[in-house]
Structure formats: structure tokens, C-alpha cells
A and B are shown apart, each in its own frame.
Chain A
């Protein structure tokens, strides 16, 4: 039930920023794909997913998040079951066995598992009596995240699996992990990194190397990054205008409506436009921090922090990748890249955060 007070606490700045970003995504997906008949109608589908996302968001807002909290562990296990299901019966798309196919609709359960896992972890960390997370809480919390990560890794979707990590990092950091634990973890990561490097697949290693050395193998693995940088750079101050991006339209830019949509945008509307988009993301991040700070209780704060962690991570990796600062990992830019599952799960997360923000003063 929504009261007038709740509605007056609706975070319009956050909502409108996201609505603008989503609207622009349709424009740039159209701009990136109108020449190609293969992906010609992607902008229409994106629009459809945004509408579906808004409905999901409103549904989530309507129900008090404490009710979700009651069922968070149940939801968590349902999402794990979903991941196991796709592992056994899922369809392989782009080398990833993470897809459920209903007619022409492809659903990636991992995207939803991410939001649900976040919720379960926030709930678990908010249970803790103390403000400081001890080893035990941290270990169980880590366990909560390791299960879905492992299942997603088994689908060969390393990119998506990686996006679970910042949820744990963000929640445990703000949840009150002790400094000494942080230092210890850092040491462990430093020791584990070389081991991980050795065990990485060759093409993952190549990607990291091509990022560190920009001239390394321009025609091969560095091709995407090189083309993306040319696309962004050739946009200059004001951009070439919509549909005018020669880089994107010539097909030099791979994944131009999904992972490299930022490059298309920067080529089309230049430095001024790209910074405008960055500012919108900046507003979104700061609104999330605001909600986290003003939440009614620890649970609400942690939910907002979890969502912030996910989005921030996606923005850093995706934009960093387009700018040639981060290795090429196929993860979408929230509300901007084409993709139904990502759009809907992000609107679901937005619903949760708005939910927290609206109920901050409500007496129960």
C-alpha cells in the first residue's frame, strides 16, 4: 500500500535520470543499427523491454521491501535453482550456456540471480547484532555469493560471474568489515593473482595484455578496443550527429548495440554529449548514496549499497573498456546497452532502491 507520504518521498531525480538514460539508449541503438538489417529492429525491442522494466519497477515499489526481506532466502534458493536449470537445459548463445528460450524471448537468469543474491546478502548482513562484521558473518556471506558465482562460471560466462564480486565487496565494506580483515584480504588477492593469471584461458590473458600495451596485436584481439577508441575520438567536441558515425555504421565496431554502445554514443554526440551521459550516471550514483545514508534501517542502506555496487562496477568496466582503460569484458552498460534481461533486472533493482527511499520515514 502506498501512502501520500511515501509518494512524496519518491526520488524523482534518480528516476528521471534513469528514464533519460533509457530513452537515449533507444536513440543510440537505433543510430547504431539502422543500417544493418540483421539488427534493424533492436531499438523497438529495447523500447519494449524498457516498458516491461517500468512495470516491474512499479510492482516492486508497491510492495514494502520488508516483505521481500522475509522471503529473501526463499527467493535466493529459487534463483539458484534457476541457475542449475539453465546449466542443465539452457540454450548456448555466444558460448554461454545461460539462456532460457521462450519463443523469441531469451532470458538470462544470471541477471536476476544477481539482484536476488544482493538482496539475500543485504538481509544477512543486516541481521548481525554488531555493526562490525566478524569472520563468521563474512565467511557465510561469502558463501552466499560463491554459490551463484560458481554456477555462472560453469556456464562459461566469466563476465557476468565477475559482476557478483562487487556486490560482496561493496556490502561487506559498508557493512563494517574490519580494517585488518581488509588488509588480510588484499594480501590474499595479491598472492592469488599470479595463480589466477596462470589458470586464465589464453584469450582472457590476451585481452589483458592488449589493454596494457595499446599497440599489441591491433588487428587481432586489440581490434575492438582500437576501433572503439577511434570511434570515440573521431566524435570530437560535438560529435558527428546521429546515424553519422562512420565507425559504427561501417561495421568496424563490434557489438555496437550491446557492449560498445558507449562508443557509438560518443562518436555521435562527441565530448559534450558523452560528458552529459557521465553526469547522468554520476547523479544516479549520488542519489543511491543518498538513499543508503537516509534509509530507515541497516537493511535498506545495504540494499541501496548493493545496487550501487553493481551499477558502479558495470559503468567502470563498460565505459573503461570503451575508453581502452580496462580489458574487454562483455558486460552491459546499465540502462544503455541493448538486452532484455539486463534492462528488466536493473529496473527491478531500481524498484528496490526507490522502495527503500520511499519508506524511510514510515512508522510501522
Chain B
């Protein structure tokens, strides 16, 4: 193997070159020796001479990074009255890296702080992936006894430490609980999800309602401090500090007085009340019963309480105003009448004779009583089915669906609240696609009185009837516009209500977007609208089905609905006990005053029976609350002073 090139000079034959190189290597040898002696000496100094001192420093070490939790933004009603605030709370933290004996610590926690061992183990499991020097909350809102207990055992159990932090507080308890929502510790999926900027285990985030919808705005920015702590975990000194920044305050469209009244009226019922301004879609009240107390969620609810809420047959966590779908029943007749007038199938003079039922397409369709000769106004006022069976037959399902959908049925209203349901408005095309079956003409007749496959959410109905009441379609919303304040903590990902909302036009069947401020809007034909409104006025004021909502001196208009859950034939087969579960759902939808309405109210009482009896009085009471001034307004506030940090 020959490789040597002339360029590469060997050392062997050239001893003088070797000499310099070798002599210089001696220098390097010395450099190495000196360096290593220096290093060894330094090790001697640090480990032997200063070893004791350094050991102490390490034991005290000492330097901990502590997160300062940012208070979430306060939520206030339209008049600035606080609905959600923060309260100082003492929390017990567990520092896992200081646990000396796991069994002893578990025993200490379960006996001293009455925490079930399996709960503590679950929390340890949840934080397994977090670095062990990160403290975890083990119990919140400590009592005086808890604090005294922990303080007196600091020497034996330095792994448990007390910290003082802001905690979410809902002064009105379950008031508007579904709308406001609740907060809780960030879940595994949220940690990985990437919806939240910079998520950390242990973060408190919105889990439902507004707390979830506007979580990014509400969250603020956590601060941090670096402190020196001794071996007992006590802070000795603070090295640096970055103060937390409070989250953005949210001003709602909600009116606390009206909300309180709505909650009171629903107290012993299962159902929901939605009140909004029909001119602009501002939600003034939204109550859903049964409810829950969001305070019990403020950080981590015990496993047992959570199971109870989930397994409750009345679904207390469900916001019935937008997450429950019901047949609209006779309330739908308002929309039918409007569609009939728009399509020139109907005039105010159109009349039918109701003999308690009618044969259509060879089937008998019932009316709830014999109305005799009825014109349009009378048909709305008395809620005559026969009149609307005929109207439905003449209009046909396609035209009914177009108008219902223009008013927003069968689709989400896109209110700024999470997890809204869309309801359903059936069409032959839909039935073909989903069920693979042809549309039966008889189904149109059921749809005409708001039965059959039609389902709506109360908020949808509020939006649709608002349009008929005010003449313009507006977007229901909960955050006051323009209410998102410019705040330095605002992040670009903030969720503000869409500035535009979509309307499906009945005539062109196309979607168009309109600004939410009402500067540009879909106007409904005023003449036809007035005819329908006149009918709704008769419902309440001229011996119609909604007389219970009548208020002297105020032009209340409305429509009752009594939605069947089961056919009359089926009902006769039920036992008494079962009957209450299949009792009709009671609707009342109304607004006032008749011209330029200010308040739209939708009441739905589940299994309440007749709408005129169960729901109309509730609406009446709310109109009175809103329009009739009271001498002294006293608020049943749970606490009188409110800290707004």
C-alpha cells in the first residue's frame, strides 16, 4: 500500500523538526498539569473547605419559582352590578419533592385535612408529568381549623404549605349559572389541545358558559416571583417579582333585576326563561332550572358531587335555553301566519269552520276544541289547529321551511355561549337524506302546528318571534356591544361575538351577513307583520289563550304553545305515574309593548301542561317586573361588600 506523497513529510528522517515539536509538547504537558492541579485545588476548596457551608446552602436551597395566580376578569351586569368576582382564599399546596414518607403524608392529609386518600392519589396521578418541584393544590378555601392544623405541623410536614390566592366567587350562587358557567382545573385534553395560550397543569380555566366562551379574555396573565425558601419551605426573601395582571372585565347585556325575578319564578319548576331586547338581540335574562351552584366547582369539585350532578335525571348542568330542543307547538302558528301572508296564501279575511277536527289526506287531525267560524285573528288568538292545518296544506312544506329558516329555526343562533344546539327544521330533502324515506303529505300538517319532527331551542324561538315583533332579524348576544374593552392583556385570539351574523333569505334561499349593531338589517314586511302582531295581541287581550299574561296599561302580545310529547291515543294507555313524565311542555312567547317592543320573553315549563296556564303567568310577572316601577328595589345579595381586585 503506497500512499506517501512528496507533500507529506515524515518526521523520522527529519529529526530537527521533531525537536521543536517535541519541545513545544513539553509546554503543553505543563499546561495540562497546572490546569488539573488548579481544578483539583478548586474542588478541594468547594467540597472540603467550604463543603459544610455549601451543604447548608443546598439544603436551604432555596430558590423557588412561585406562580402568582392572576385573578380572572370580573363579570358585571348591564348596569355594572357584579355577578362574578374573586375572593381571597387560603389554599393548601403539596410540594411533592419534599415528601419524605408517602404513606405518612397521605395519612396526615386524610386525617388532618379530611381529604380522602384516593382523592389525593388521583391528584398525584394527574400531576405525574409535571416537574416534582412544582407545588400542587391539595385543598382550597381552607377553614381556620385547617390553617391552624397545617401551621402547627410545619416542622413534621414541611411538604404542605399554605398560599393565599384569588378564588372565583359567584355572590348570587346559582343565579344565571348556566349562562355564566363555572371554572375548574384545566383538563388533560385542554392541556394538550392548544386552544389556550401557554397552558400549565393546575391552571384554572372556564369550563362552561361565559367563563368558557371568553376564557382567554378573562384569564389575565399570571405573575411569578422567585423566592429563597428554607428547609421548612418558608420564604426567607424575595429575589424578583412580576405581578399578575387581572383579566378583562366583561359587561353583560343581562339585567340583574329581571334575572332575579326569572329565577324566582322558575324556582320550583323545570324549564327556562329567556328575555331579550327584540330590537337588538341583547339578552336581558336567561334562567334555566334546575340549576347548580358554580361556587362548588371553583377549583376541583369532589368526585362524589360531580357524579351526582351528572347522574341527576333533571340534567341540572344543561342550559335549557340553548341546549334543550323542544317541539314549538302552537307558538309556531305565529310563523305559519306570517309565512302564509308573505306567500299570499292567506289574507286577514281567510276563514275556516272548525268542528273540532278535520279530515285531510284521509286522516283525522284533531283540534283542542270546536272553534266554529274562525278568521286569521281568531285562529291565532284561540290557537285553532284546523285553521293552520288548512294553511299548512296550502303553503306546502317547502315554503314553510323557507320562512322558518329565515327567522332562524333549525340552525344555531350563534349566541356567544358555548355548546348551543341547532334544533331541527324538517324538509323533504332532509328526510330523504337522513332517513332515506319520502316525505308524507300528512307530516306537513303536523309541522303546521309545530309538531312532528320540528324541534327548536328556546333561544331560537326568542330570536324568531323577536323578528316578527320588531320587524328586524337580530343576533342574540350576552356580551354588551361594544363592550370588549381595550386592555393591554387582550390577546389576539380573544373570542368576541362575531361582528356579523348570517341570515338565510326566504325569497332567494341565500345567506347574507349583516352587522350586529343593527345599522343594516333584514326588514320584514311591515303590513304582514302587523297583522300577525294584532293576532298575538288578541291572544293576551281579547280572550285568547294567553290571558294570564295580561297587564293593564301595557300592550302585551304573545302566543301560547302546548307541545305534545306523546299522541293522545298513546297517553290513554299510560298509568298515572307515567303521565306526569309525558305531560305537555308549556310555552309562552310574548313581547311588549306592541309598537316598538322593548322586551321579548320566552317561557318554557317542561311538563307544565297548558302554555296558557303554566307559562303565561310567569311571562306576565316578568313584564310587570320590567315595566312597572317598584318603590324600593331590594337585592337579596349574599354579601354586602364586594371586593373587586
Residues of A within 8 A of B (CB): 1, 35-38, 64, 66-67, 69-70, 123, 126-132, 170, 173-176, 219, 223, 227, 229-237, 246-247, 249-252, 266, 270-271, 274-275, 278, 281-282, 285-286, 289, 292-293, 295-301, 305, 308, 312, 315-316, 319-320, 323-325, 364
Cβ–Cβ contact A271 & B9, under 8 A: no
Known: A66-B3, A274-B47. A126 touches B8 (CB 8 A): yes
Picked from A229, A281, A286, A296, the residue with its CB within 8 Å of the CB of B54 is A229
Residues of B within 8 A of A (CB): 1-5, 7-12, 14, 16-17, 19-22, 24-25, 27-29, 31-32, 35-36, 38-40, 42-44, 46-48, 50-55, 57-59, 61-63, 97, 128-129, 131-133, 226, 239-240
- Closest CB-CB distance, A296 to chain B, in whole Å? 6
Cβ–Cβ contact B133 & A275, under 8 A: no
Known: A131-B17, A246-B61, A289-B28. A282 touches B36 (CB 8 A): yes
Known: A219-B239, A312-B32, A323-B43. A175 touches B8 (CB 8 A): no
- Which A residues touch B46, using CB under 8 A? 229, 232-233, 323
**Complex CA distance for A236 and B35, rounded to whole angstroms:** 21
Cβ–Cβ contact B12 & A296, under 8 A: yes
- Across chains A and B, which 9 residue pairs bring their CB atoms closest together, nearest first? A233-B54, A131-B17, A297-B10, A234-B58, A236-B51, A233-B46, A66-B3, A219-B239, A271-B47
Picked from A1, A246, A278, the residue with its CB within 8 Å of the CB of B58 is A246
Cβ–Cβ contact A236 & B32, under 8 A: no
Known: A35-B131, A251-B133, A270-B47. A293 touches B17 (CB 8 A): no
Cβ–Cβ contact A296 & B3, under 8 A: no
Cβ–Cβ contact A319 & B39, under 8 A: yes
- Which A residues touch B129, using CB under 8 A? 37
A-B contact pairs, 23 of them (CB 8 A): A64-B3, A170-B28, A176-B21, A219-B226, A229-B46, A232-B54, A233-B47, A233-B50, A234-B54, A234-B55, A236-B48, A246-B58, A246-B59, A252-B62, A252-B63, A274-B43, A275-B43, A281-B36, A296-B11, A315-B35, A319-B39, A323-B43, A364-B3
Cβ–Cβ contact B32 & A286, under 8 A: yes
Cβ–Cβ contact A67 & B131, under 8 A: no
- Which B residues touch A219, using CB under 8 A? 63, 226, 239-240
- Closest CB-CB distance, B260 to chain A, in whole Å? 49
Cβ–Cβ contact B131 & A36, under 8 A: yes
Known: A131-B14, A298-B10. A174 touches B28 (CB 8 A): yes
Q: Which residue of B lies closest to A275 (CB)?
A: B40
- Closest CB-CB distance, B639 to chain A, in whole Å? 41
Known: A35-B131, A126-B9, A235-B47. A323 touches B39 (CB 8 A): yes
**Complex CA distance for A297 and B15, rounded to whole angstroms:** 10
- Which A residues touch B55, using CB under 8 A? 233-234, 236
- Closest CB-CB distance, A180 to chain B, in whole Å? 15
Cβ–Cβ contact A131 & B47, under 8 A: no
Q: Which residue of A lies closest to B32 (CB)?
A: A285
- Which A residues touch B31, using CB under 8 A? 312
Cβ–Cβ contact B132 & A35, under 8 A: yes
- Closest CB-CB distance, B434 to chain A, in whole Å? 45
- Closest CB-CB distance, B626 to chain A, in whole Å? 57
**Complex CA distance for A175 and B11, rounded to whole angstroms:** 12
- Given known contacts A230-B61, A289-B29, A289-B32, what 17 new A-B pairs fall within 8 Å (CB)? A37-B131, A66-B4, A66-B8, A219-B239, A227-B63, A231-B58, A232-B43, A236-B55, A249-B97, A266-B47, A293-B22, A297-B10, A297-B12, A298-B11, A305-B25, A325-B38, A364-B1
Known: A132-B20, A233-B53, A236-B55. A250 touches B43 (CB 8 A): no
Q: Which residue of B lies closest to A315 (CB)?
A: B35
Cβ–Cβ contact A69 & B54, under 8 A: no
Cβ–Cβ contact A323 & B42, under 8 A: yes
**Complex CA distance for A297 and B54, rounded to whole angstroms:** 50
Known: A174-B21, A232-B47. A67 touches B3 (CB 8 A): yes
Cβ–Cβ contact A176 & B8, under 8 A: no
**Complex CA distance for A331 and B54, rounded to whole angstroms:** 25
**Complex CA distance for A66 and B14, rounded to whole angstroms:** 18
